[in-house]
Amino acid sequence: MQNLSMSKIVKNNSFSVYAGQITGLFGLIGSGRTEAAKVISGIYKRDFFHGGEVRLNNKPVRYRTPRSAVMDGIVYVTEDRKIEGFFESMSIAENIHRGAQAANVSSSFILRYGEVKRMADEWTKRLNIKAINSNARVIELSGGNQQKVVIARSLVQKPKLIIVDEPTRGVDVGAIAEIHQLLNRLADDGIAVVVISSYLPEIMNISDRILVSRAGRIVEEFTPNEATEERIMYAAVH
């Protein structure tokens, strides 16, 4: 579904992502894994010197803004949820509704209470977001529930490809299991899921395919049966 070859940090890189699979992307800090995801999703601009292209359903696409990518069904869930993932002074309902507005899923940019509440109640239930009610401010939630709100903001945009960067960083054990179950359900529903994680057991546990990034490019691919911690770490370092 997706092919990549580009950018200043991301060089001589090529990989594909398929619908209905969880593709795990592992790499050490500076390996270019997050940078590649941000180029794909329109957050970073492609580097003209190194060129390359992104192909969606075998058609070349070029995104200058994240909104353009979202409209094509590509969403990126940031690793830094407190800075980039949500509006901390807003409620759960308002945050989810802002996600819908970005993808033109919401019927209006004017906050209509009934629509906002309906949407928030639906996603709060689907993701088991634990809060007094959907009017609770996101900053007041636990790390795991904050992460669920960030994911809900993306899922309300009806993605075909969702890239989730460090999905369980700073999240309690119970929420980790729930987030993993959610990602598996998304793949079962035919969505292409990419999980970027520096936590190797997570990558090995959740992935249908494992890609290893080093020095700005994908250097190795493993099936779950082939993958061991030693082989993945060797590929990431050498």
Reported as a single tens digit per residue, the pLDDT across 65-90 is: 888 899 899 999 988 776 566 777 78
Strand partners, 137: 91
One domain, residues 147 and 169: no
Verify that 32 and 141 share a domain, yes or no.
no
Q: Nearest to residue 206, comparing CAs of 233, 179, 229, 230? A: 179
213 lies in some domain: yes
Tens digit of each residue's pLDDT (9 = 90 or more) over 20-75: 999 999 999 888 888 888 888 888 876 655 556 778 888 888 888 888 899 899 99
188, 150: one domain: no
The whole-model pTM stands at 0.86
Whether residues 166 and 134 share a domain: the answer is no
pLDDT at residue 44, rounded to an integer: 81
Range of the domain at 106: 89-158
> Is 134 inside a domain boundary?
yes
Alpha helices in the chain (DSSP H): 33-40, 66-71, 92-102, 113-126, 143-155, 173-188, 200-206, 229-237
What are the φ and ψ backbone dihedral angles of 24, each rounded to 5 degrees? -90, 135
Instruction: Give domain status of residue 81, yes or no.
Output: no
pLDDT digits (tens, 9 = 90+) for 167-192: 998 888 889 999 999 999 999 999 99
